[in-house]
Amino acid sequence: MTPVFECSHITKHYGAKAALSDINLTLEPGRIVGLLGPNGSGKTTLIKLAAGLLTSTSGTLTICGERIGPLTKSKVSYLPDKDYLSGWMSVSQVIDLFHDFYENFDRVKACEMLNRLQIDPEQKLKTLSKGNREKVILILTMSRSADLYLLDEPIGGVDPAARDYILQTILTNYNESGTILISTHLISDVERILDEAVFLKNGTVSIHSAVDDIRNQYQKSVDELFREVFAC
């Protein structure tokens, strides 16, 4: 089976500084993977490379065996860490936009989820609260049946109830043959939904293992292991 994400000797330099050094990482379909590391470890850089917002200094990266391009972008659903939609658009306009450009977007499902949150589709994005805006974007991202979901810090800066909602939404709405890559530093919240954990330290992969194996091998949770590995 073609791996959904395959990184080979990926290096990304910003001037003299190497954000990523010689990353080799393969992800199989149908897994929920945590990309774990402290701020500045290169998580966002790796995700942006996969999303097509950056090009690597060297190395190859393929999604479902294809190089990054319009085809991979149709297979990848990306949730960035920042606000990236035009504030003047209404929720329904954004839904139309996703519907126009993405064949694998389930409009009915998205509308249903928005309904349940009682978000008025005619509201402009800039008038929504920060929490609601993030939920809307999450719903849009998870309403696509993609082969690879890239979620960059989906629960950072969000209250615990919203965190539960977000994790629930991720669990119940993803395409089971697809893979989800969640980058976060809030590991204890996310650990229970992960199949595998990838530790990214100073731009290199220090551990890539199934969560159950980590618990068996190290006799501690991924969160506890993380605190050890990344102790200051």
Partner 1 sequence: MLKKLLKKDLTATSRLFVPMLLVYVTASLIAKGLLELFISAEPETSGGGAISLLFILSAMYAAMFILYLFACILMTVIFIIYDFYKTMIKEESYLTHTLPVSSKQLLNSKMMIAFFWQCVTMLVTIVSVLMFMAGHINVEQIKEFFAPVFREIPHSYLILSAVSTVLSLICGTLTFFASMAIGHLNGKHPLITSIGVYTGIRIVMNVSSAVFTVFFFYNKLKYTISSASYANRHVTANIYVNYGNYIWNILSCLCTAALIVFFYWVTQYIFAKKINVE
Partner 2 sequence: MPWNFDPGRPIYSQLLEMIRLQIVSGRYAPGEKLPSVRDLASEAAVNPNTMQRALTELERTGLIYAQRTSGRYVTEDSDLIASAKRTIAREKTGVFLQEMKQLGYGPEQVTEIINTIDSSENADQNVSDSDAEKK
Rule CB under 8 A: which residues touch partner 1? 14, 48, 51-55, 69-71, 73-74, 76, 78, 80, 82-86, 88, 97, 100-102
**Cα first-last separation, the chain:** 40
Interaction of residue 159 with partner 2, rule CB under 8 A: no
Among residues 82 and 116, whose Cβ is nearest to partner 1? 82
- Between CA 78 and CA 39 the distance in angstroms is 19
CA 216 to chain centre: 26
With CB under 5 to 8 Å by kind, the binding choice for 185 among partner 1, partner 2, none is none
For partner 2, which residue of 186, 193, 207, 229 counts as binding (CB under 8 A)?
Answer: 193
Q: Min. distance of Cβ 45 from partner 1 in angstroms?
A: 11
Q: Are 115 and 130 in contact (CB under 8 A)?
A: no
User: Regarding beta strands 148-152 and 179-184, do their DSSP bridges make them parallel or antiparallel, or are they unpaired?
Assistant: parallel
**Residue whose entry in the numeric block shows the structure tokens 């929920």:** 32
Choose among partner 2, partner 1, none what residue 9 binds, the Cβ cut-off being 5 to 8 Å by kind.
none
* Closest CB 138 distance from partner 1, rounded Å: 15
Q: How many CB atoms lie within 10 A of CB 173?
A: 19
Residues 6+ apart with CB under 8 A from 212: none
- In the bound state with partner 1, the residue whose beta carbon lies nearer, of 13 and 227, is 13
Q: State the residues that interact with partner 2 by CB under 8 A.
A: 30-32, 164, 167-168, 171-172, 176, 191-195, 211-212, 215-216, 219-221, 223-224
